[in-house]
Chain A
Amino acid sequence: MPTTPSRTAGGTSRRRRGPRTWLAALPLLAFTGLCFGLPLGAIAFGAVTRTDPADGATRLTGEHLARSLQGPYLGSLIGSVQLSALTALIGGVLGVLIAQVVVTSRSTALRSAALTASGVLANFGGVPLAFAFIATVGISGVVTQLADLTSLGWSLYSFTGLTVVYLYFLIPLMVLVIAPALEGLRPQWREAAQNSGASGRQFWRHVGLPVLAPSLLGGFVLLFGTAFAAHATAAALVGGSVPLVTLKIADALAGNVLTGQENVALALGLDMILIAGLVMAVYLPLQRRSARWLR
């Protein structure tokens, strides 16, 4: 009895305040349109147009995009993709290993400590991380001096060095992403497989991996995107000795370069957005798919 009147009351009041609630979302939409849409539009517009300094006319051109895919710029894009793919692969594998050890351990203290630490470490990037590694394994770093790493051919300011540094925040990120999926693998499934005579390998081949696959791939893609977009760590660490697209963009923006060069920076920015967009287009559906199995 009491539910019926309240439901109609809610219905009418909802109809009445419909337009007003719509207004409450307006500032957010206007803000993102202005402060996010405008720069994006500027990137897209600048990447495909050229303003003639003589007559001030703006014409469409594919020149900047073409140049962003040539020579040192192409090299930096390839370098970024290689570094991101390598670190995402290593970070993904190690992250899964660690998460599996943590998830299957009987100690809940270890589990909560590891997950909290992962949450904290995954947010640790940028300048402080770079300096921590410089102090540790840089030229005059503590471990470098102790273990005499320089004579072993070690250099932090290289592709390998960057890989080691990036793994510091990528591994915890993978642990965070994959731990719920590993926890979602019910022991009952394993028991069911064993009772029907499946070996451990068969269980992983036909049950474990198919269930985990979206999360694994999603985690890899997320790590790739994170490594791809990282700039501060690399900027504080290597400056320009490793070709990375983020460093090239920063060079083109910061230095007083030739006219037209800033349009190449915009074109590189557009290239990055396209690659990152591709990554997210893979990641989001995968995340949704794995959420269906693992809850």
Chain B
Amino acid sequence: MKKITLAFITMLSLLFVACDSKDATSTENTKIIKVGTSGGYYPFTYFENDKLQGFEIDVWNAIGEKLNSEIEFKTSKFSGLFGMLETSKIDTISNQITMTDKRIEKYNFATPYVYDGAQIIVHNETAEISSLDDLKGKKLGVGLGTNYADIVRAYDKNNEIEIITYEGNGFQQDVKLKRIDAYIEDRTSAVEAIKKGNLPLKLVGEPIKVLVNSFPFLKNEKSSELLNDVNKAIDQLRADGTLKNISMKWFNTDITKK
């Protein structure tokens, strides 16, 4: 009987072995800005070899340098980012957030730092789709929680386009495999993804909407202060050419001005 209890105790203690503390509390000397990002949006914010990098990361590191603040990136699924902002787990979101009317109503946005377009992307071999009109009766993929679905719905009053939402960017794979007919994403990101993934996809038509992107902040006093600082930093980065340089580095074109 002793052996049995002994074995039981060993098993229980084994259960606790791998429990380790995850939260390292940092010293509060420099101000820390918590930036939420998906880390799953190549080439704006992505992981490669387990390292978070991309256009957004460079922009925020530059802002941090100007403000003499430490930037702490918190990664989460895109659809969870706004929830984290609401509950003040993060100060702002950096993930190519488009300034839509609904969002402007709810959040204070920083000065826009990217101007882009919502783009329809189809398989190389698809010839019959070149505009939203052609998508009627077709399957269209969009990211869950992104505003592309809203843009399409506003246009497609009779619900003739079948919208399929994705966590992450499985829509690229699905168009490649012809499981769906097209997807909508911002132009710059799509170009880079197709290049990097060597995907059999192409952009069609003009962008269906100009997208103005920036960082959303909660409408409260503490956030307004930070927002002012960030705005000043963005102005300086634009003036001294840093923003343009970051854009050239990632996209070979300047997406930071109109």
- Do A and B make up one complex? no
A contacts, CB < 8 Å to B: none
B contacts, CB < 8 Å to A: none
